[in-house]
Amino acid sequence: MRVNVIPAPAVPARTDLGWSDLRAAALILIAVALFYGTRLTLEPLVGEETRWATAAREMLTTGDWAVPRQQGQVFPERPPMTIWLMAIGGWLRGDVDPVAIRLPSAIAVALTALLIYGYTRAFALGSTALIAALVYTTSGQVLQIGRRGESEAVFALFVGASLLLWHLSYSRRWPPLAVWSIGFAFAALAALVKGPQAPVYFGAITAAYLFMNRDLRYLVRWQTVAGALVFVAIIAAWQIPFYRATDWPSVRAIWTGLAGDRIRLSGLLTHAISYPLETCGCILPWSPILIALLFSGVRDRLREKSQVTRFLVTAIVVAYPTVWMAAAARGRYFMPLYPVLAVFIALVIETCSQAPFASGAHGAGRRFMLSWAVLIGGCAAFIAVDSALPDNWSFRLYQPTWFVYLFAAFAVVVAAVIWISSSSRFTRPLVPVIALASVAGLSAAGLMVNVNIARWSNPTSAIAELEERIPPGTRLASLTEIEHRFAYYYGKPIVQLPWPETVSDIPADVDYFVFVRHWDDTPQSHLAGRGRACYHTASTLPFEWEEMASLCSDRQVNAATATSVVLGRVIRPIRSAISDVTKSQDRIAGRTMALTK
């Protein structure tokens, strides 16, 4: 049997930009603008978005850019880069609004995609570089978090830059001082986003790679020390003012608190089994192509690109155990290595397309694309049929009917393009990759945004009604820390007070107050705190008060563990009384007892 061999093209080392590279960069920016920039403000702010946004708003109000604060209290949860970016956006827009909160993440995704393209282009074809950028841009978790005011997208940008630019400059034999300074500088910027994970990754991965490359002498030189001093200088520019304004426990908490919380033995076995599956889910739709590594032909061809694959594999192998063996780690904690994974996946796709036509490697690439064509076509048919069924027969998809049919038609076209371009010979993978990336990106910006708008609560109107119960000009206080989502949407300063233990603990000028009622509060114990600093207080107030309103500030108000914010009014003249903060629960319990009798 005659086997047609498709030779791998020789790729010269290039540093200049051609028109094809400019077109690829334009396509990347268009994709990011479409998948991340559109409908950016329609979803309510959820999760940690308002945690950092309230600190950014307070930073603009006080003018203190060194110390993150919540309600005037030091908030040593994480270094301030995310807060800085939101504050800069708020300064430019006049308020820390959803655009100021979420735009830094979208910009970070765009810059990371361009970084991936430039790095991959130095070692492979332009089509492979474009595939790598699209793989990152349309991975499931990036599509989810890249539209949020979270830290991960910015963190992935700086960690990816520290690793990829270091390796690129090392491979191109730049002056060692520049190589180490670039790597350490971006590692420092990443550390200002999420703490010690970035410098640990950079130091461990570069040392392991130099060891594998038998070039440890490159590590032990004065230029490495100079690069480390660049890292220290960048961190010190913020850390010294922060320390002078706070104390050593705050410094320790901001660098070691969250990282230490992830390391525990409880549940480690279950986590070790489930986390690889979670990782594969996070980088869908691209992770199944890694099955092609089971074929020796793929592995052999990747070894031919050892200049780049050795570094990529080393980075993944060194970094993955830090989240795999940490029982409290979540899927997104490996996102800073997604730029590295995206390049590796693109090289696997390229390798499959260039393998001999009758080989298992080439068949793996074809089956990967054909499987997605079938799945996309099946999903398009399902949502179209489901939309046509009566309400009592259909699944609730939270989609407008016109949008369902429009998206289903688009998905059918995409499935056809993938099938036609992959059914005969999988030799030009860019076409089906662009098709698959487009349906993944538009699913996130279309289908998922519609679902989130329908399911997530927007507390704006409820907080406006609550505010109407407070006389104009009244000073509102919170008993212990107030929930950050409520604080953001309320939009006005809320004075934080300790939980009162006696009548004299409530200030004379405080008539209206709020506090958080947790689902598991009891008459004896009330959970309080902010971030990692949680503690319990008494669950009673030592004075008479009236509950004016109660609203749920969680993203889903019907969740079993939802918390609520209670608005109370001090009854004056103030008198000593024991008034349980869960009085509504007591009233229910009383009615139940009466019925029992």
DSSP assignment of 460-475 equals: HHHHHHHHHTSPTT--
Predicted confidence (pLDDT) per residue in 256-265, tens digit: 866 655 666 6
Predicted confidence (pLDDT) per residue in 138-157, tens digit: 999 999 999 999 999 999 99
Beta-strand relationship, 545-552 and 564-570: antiparallel
User: What integer pLDDT is reported at residue 217 of this predicted model?
Assistant: 92
pLDDT-derived band at 296, boundaries 50, 70, 90:
confident
User: What integer pLDDT is reported at residue 438 of this predicted model?
Assistant: 95
How confident is the model over 174-189, as a mean pLDDT? 96
pLDDT-derived band at 16, boundaries 50, 70, 90:
low
pLDDT-derived band at 13, boundaries 50, 70, 90:
very low
The amino acid present at 103, given as its one-letter code, is L
Residue 11 in this model has a pLDDT that exceeds 70: no
Residue 594 in this model has a pLDDT that exceeds 50: no
End-to-end CA distance of the chain: 89
The tokens for 154 are: 């910015």
How confident is the model over 491-517, as a mean pLDDT? 89
Cα 292 versus chain centre, distance: 28
User: What integer pLDDT is reported at residue 63 of this predicted model?
Assistant: 92
How far from 338 is each of 138, 152, 312, CA to CA, in Å? 11, 11, 11
The tokens for 114 are: 């361009």
Rounded-to-integer distance, Cα 245 and Cα 225, Å: 29
Q: Could you tell me which of 530, 348, 541 has the C-alpha nearest to residue 426? A: 348
How confident is the model over 218-244, as a mean pLDDT? 95
Predicted confidence (pLDDT) per residue in 94-120, tens digit: 999 999 999 999 999 999 999 999 999
- Note whether 370 and 352 are within 8 A (CB): no
Mean pLDDT of the chain: 87
Residue 574 in this model has a pLDDT that exceeds 80: no
Residue 238 in this model has a pLDDT that exceeds 90: yes
User: What integer pLDDT is reported at residue 587 of this predicted model?
Assistant: 43
User: What integer pLDDT is reported at residue 320 of this predicted model?
Assistant: 92
Rounded-to-integer distance, Cα 497 and Cα 507, Å: 9
Rounded-to-integer distance, Cα 79 and Cα 278, Å: 27
How confident is the model over 537-547, as a mean pLDDT? 86
pLDDT-derived band at 562, boundaries 50, 70, 90:
confident
Is residue 222 packed enough to be buried (19+ CB in 10 Å), middle (13-18) or exposed (0-12)? exposed
Residue 567: strand, helix, or coil? strand
User: What integer pLDDT is reported at residue 6 of this predicted model?
Assistant: 37
Predicted confidence (pLDDT) per residue in 385-413, tens digit: 888 877 767 678 888 888 889 999 999 99
Residue 371: strand, helix, or coil? helix
Predicted confidence (pLDDT) per residue in 113-136, tens digit: 999 999 999 998 999 999 999 999
How far from 65 is each of 58, 62, 71, 96, 132, CA to CA, in Å? 10, 8, 15, 15, 37
Residue 590 in this model has a pLDDT that exceeds 60: no
pLDDT-derived band at 163, boundaries 50, 70, 90:
very high
Q: Which residue, chain included where needed, has tokens 């827009």?
A: 93
pLDDT-derived band at 582, boundaries 50, 70, 90:
very low
The amino acid present at 321, given as its one-letter code, is P
The Cα angle at residue 587 between residues 581 and 592, in degrees rounded to 5 = 140
User: What integer pLDDT is reported at residue 58 of this predicted model?
Assistant: 94
The set of residues, in sequence order, having a beta carbon less than 8 Å from that of 487 and lying 6+ positions away, is 50, 54, 70, 71, 494
The set of residues, in sequence order, having a beta carbon less than 8 Å from that of 117 and lying 6+ positions away, is 21, 24, 25, 28, 129, 130, 132, 133
- Note whether 199 and 228 are within 8 A (CB): no
Beta-strand relationship, 476-479 and 512-517: parallel
User: What integer pLDDT is reported at residue 260 of this predicted model?
Assistant: 59
How confident is the model over 211-230, as a mean pLDDT? 93
The set of residues, in sequence order, having a beta carbon less than 8 Å from that of 135 and lying 6+ positions away, is 286, 342, 345, 346, 433, 437
More confident residue, 240 or 525: 240
The set of residues, in sequence order, having a beta carbon less than 8 Å from that of 560 and lying 6+ positions away, is 519
User: What integer pLDDT is reported at residue 229 of this predicted model?
Assistant: 97
The amino acid present at 118, given as its one-letter code, is G
Per cent of the chain over pLDDT 70 is 91
Residue 166 in this model has a pLDDT that exceeds 70: yes
User: What integer pLDDT is reported at residue 218 of this predicted model?
Assistant: 92
Residue 597 in this model has a pLDDT that exceeds 70: no
Predicted confidence (pLDDT) per residue in 303-349, tens digit: 888 889 999 999 999 999 988 887 777 888 899 999 999 999 999 99
The amino acid present at 249, given as its one-letter code, is P
Q: Could you tell me which of 488, 481, 545, 493 has the C-alpha nearest to residue 518? A: 481
Q: At what angle do helices 296-303 and 360-388 cross, to 10 degrees?
A: 110
User: What integer pLDDT is reported at residue 572 of this predicted model?
Assistant: 82
User: What integer pLDDT is reported at residue 328 of this predicted model?
Assistant: 76
How confident is the model over 573-580, as a mean pLDDT? 62
Predicted confidence (pLDDT) per residue in 450-487, tens digit: 999 988 888 898 899 888 899 988 889 999 989 999 99
Peptide bond into 339 cis (omega under 30): no
Rounded-to-integer distance, Cα 574 and Cα 551, Å: 26
Q: What's the full length of the chain, in residues?
A: 597
The tokens for 70 are: 């919540």
User: What integer pLDDT is reported at residue 400 of this predicted model?
Assistant: 87
